[in-house]
Amino acid sequence: MKTKRPPDGGANENNGETMNDTKYFDACVESIRALVAFDSSQAAPLPGMPFGKGAADALNAFLDLAQSMGFAVRNYDNYIGEVLFGEGEEFAVLCHLDVVPAGEGWTHAPFGGEIEDGKLYGRGTMDDKGPAVICLYCLKALRDEGFVPRRTVKLIVGCNEESGWQCIEHYRKCAALPRDGFSPDADFPVIYAEKGIVHAKFRFPLPDPPFADLRAGERPNMVCAHAFAAGAAFDAARAARHGVVQEDGGVAAYGVSAHASTPDEGKNALGMLFGYFAEEDERIRRIYDCLFADVHGLRGLRDGTGSLTMSANVASYEDRSLFVTADIRYPATMREEDICARLAAFGEYQLLHCQRPLCGDREGALVSTLRRVYERETGLCGEPVAIGGGTYARALENGAGFGPEFPGEPSTIHQKDEYISLENIKKLLRIYRAAIYELTR
C-alpha cells in the first residue's frame, strides 16, 4: 500500500505550524462549540437512547460531522460510535462525548461555547469533546494531504465514560476493540499507567441523626461541592470552624469541585458538613474518621504510580441510615481484592463500579513514539507518568493516555468554567496529527 508523507513531517516555515493547522483551525473551533451545546451528562434512558437524549444527540452530531467529511461511520445503538480511516490492522483513538453535570458557580454558560480572552468555555471542552473533535480534524487533514495509513484508524467515541463504561461493554458485544491505541483524555507528556478505581457505597446506621435529611454531591467522580442537612441546629461558633452556613432551616456547606482522582485540587463540602456535626455527635465522628481522617490508613498505600486517594463525594439519608459513596483510586501494582478487603473495616458497603489498573510498558513502542512526538512538537522533554484518572486506554491490551492537559497548566476538568485555550487547540491539532501519522504510517 502506498503512503505519502507530508513534507518535513507536516511542518512548514510558519513557526512550525502545519498548513492544516491554519486551514482547519476555525472550523475545528466552531465544531467544538456546536458539540458543547449538547448537555450530554447521563440522563434517564429513552427508547433508543440508553443515556438520554443529550448524549444521543451529541453522538449523532459528531458522526454526522465525520460523515460530511467523507468518512465511514458506525453508530452502535447510541451507546458508542466510530469513525473509520484507512485499511489493515486496527488502531484506536478512544474519546468520549458524555460529560459530568455542569454543577454550580459558572461565570460562563456551561453549554454556551463562549469565547473570551482566548479561551473557549463549556462543559466538555477539555473532557473530552474538544479532543475528540480535534482528532477528527486531524484525520481529515491527513487524508486531504494524501496520507494513506497502513492501519485502520478507529476514532471511537463513547457516551458513558463518566458514569460506568456501559458504552465500552456494548462495543465489545458489537465489535472488537483494537489491540493498540491512545486516549486523548489525560495528560502530557504520555501516560503509561493509571491507578485502579473503586466506587464503594457505605451504609452507616444512624437511627437518630442530628438532622431531618441530608443530601450531598452529584457524581462519585466529582469532589463534592455542595452538601445540605435539613432540619439541623445551627451553632455559629462551630459553623465558623468548619466553614458551613445556615440555609433554609438547615446547615449547608459549599466546597470546590475537582476531578476525584485529584481530590486535593478541590474542597470537599461533605467533609466540611461532617466535621461540623462530628464535634457534637460521636457516631458522625466515627464516620468522619473513616472517610476523611483515614483512621484505617488507606492513603498510606503507595507504589511507583503514587498514593491511594479516597474522596467521599455523594451522600444521602434514607431508612435510618447514612449512605456515602466514595471514589477510591489505588496504586496500579495493587489488586482490587486487597483494597476491598481493607474496606471491610469501614462496615457494610456495596461496590458500584470497579476498573482494573492500566500498567503499560513505559519503554514500549507505543509510549516511546508518543513521547517522541510530544517532545518534537513542543520542544520540551517529557517522562512517561502515571495518573489517578481512568481513561478508555485501560480498555485496550496496549493503551496509553496522551494529553490534552499540558504540564504546569491549570486544570478545570470537572470544575466550573471548564475551558480549552485557543492556543492549545492549535498545539493539539499539530500533536495529534503527528501522533496518528507516526503510529499508522
Tell me, yes or no, whether 337 and 381 share the same domain: no
Tell me, yes or no, whether 60 and 190 share the same domain: yes
CA distances from 185 to 96, 124, 129, 260, 387 (A): 8, 11, 10, 15, 12
| CA–CA distance, 240 with 3 (Å, rounded to integer) | 67
Can 279 be counted among the known catalytic residues?
no
Q: Is 16 a domain residue?
A: yes
By residue range, what is the domain housing residue 103?
7-195+359-440
Residues recorded for the chain: 441
Residue where the block lists cell 495518573: 387
Domains in the chain: how many in total? 2
Tell me, yes or no, whether 81 and 167 share the same domain: yes
User: Of 98, 187, 218, 418, which is the active-site residue?
Assistant: 98
Sign of CA dihedral 418, 421, 427, 432: positive
pLDDT digits (tens, 9 = 90+) for 190-205: 999 999 999 999 999 9
pLDDT confidence of 22, banded at 50, 70, 90? low
pLDDT digits (tens, 9 = 90+) for 308-318: 999 999 999 99
Tell me the average pLDDT across 22-38.
95
CA dihedral defined by 131, 47, 154, 39, rounded to 10 degrees? 0
CB atoms within 10 A of CB 320: 10
Tell me, yes or no, whether 277 and 414 share the same domain: no
Tell me, yes or no, whether 80 and 203 share the same domain: no
Q: Is 224 a domain residue?
A: yes
Q: Is 280 a domain residue?
A: yes
pLDDT confidence of 14, banded at 50, 70, 90? very low
Q: Which of 333, 355, 377 is the last residue of a domain?
A: 355
The distance of Cα 359 from the centroid of its chain, to the nearest Å, equals: 18
Tell me, yes or no, whether 103 and 231 share the same domain: no
* Amino acid identity at 245: V
Q: Three-state DSSP class for 216?
A: strand
Instruction: Kindly write down the DSSP assignment for every residue of 117-183, as one continuous string.
Output: TTEEESTTTTTTHHHHHHHHHHHHHHHHTT---SSEEEEEEES-GGGT-HHHHHHHHHS---SEEEE
Tell me, yes or no, whether 184 and 327 share the same domain: no
pLDDT digits (tens, 9 = 90+) for 106-128: 999 999 999 999 999 999 999 99
The distance of Cα 357 from the centroid of its chain, to the nearest Å, equals: 15
Tell me the average pLDDT across 297-303.
94
Q: Is 311 a domain residue?
A: yes
Tell me, yes or no, whether 201 and 268 share the same domain: yes
User: Of 90, 127, 128, 161, which is the active-site residue?
Assistant: 161
Can 98 be counted among the known catalytic residues?
yes
Tell me the average pLDDT across 416-430.
97
C-alpha cell at 108: 460562563
Tell me, yes or no, whether 142 and 282 share the same domain: no
Q: Which of 355, 387, 403 is the last residue of a domain?
A: 355
Q: 19 pLDDT exceeds 80?
A: no
For residue 157, what is the domain's CATH number?
3.40.630.10
Q: Which of 327, 355, 383 is the last residue of a domain?
A: 355
| CA–CA distance, 435 with 414 (Å, rounded to integer) | 26
Contact 309, 332 (CB under 8 A): no
HSE value, Cβ hemisphere, 13 Å, CA-based, for 253: 32
The closest alpha carbon to 193, from 71, 292, 331, belongs to: 331
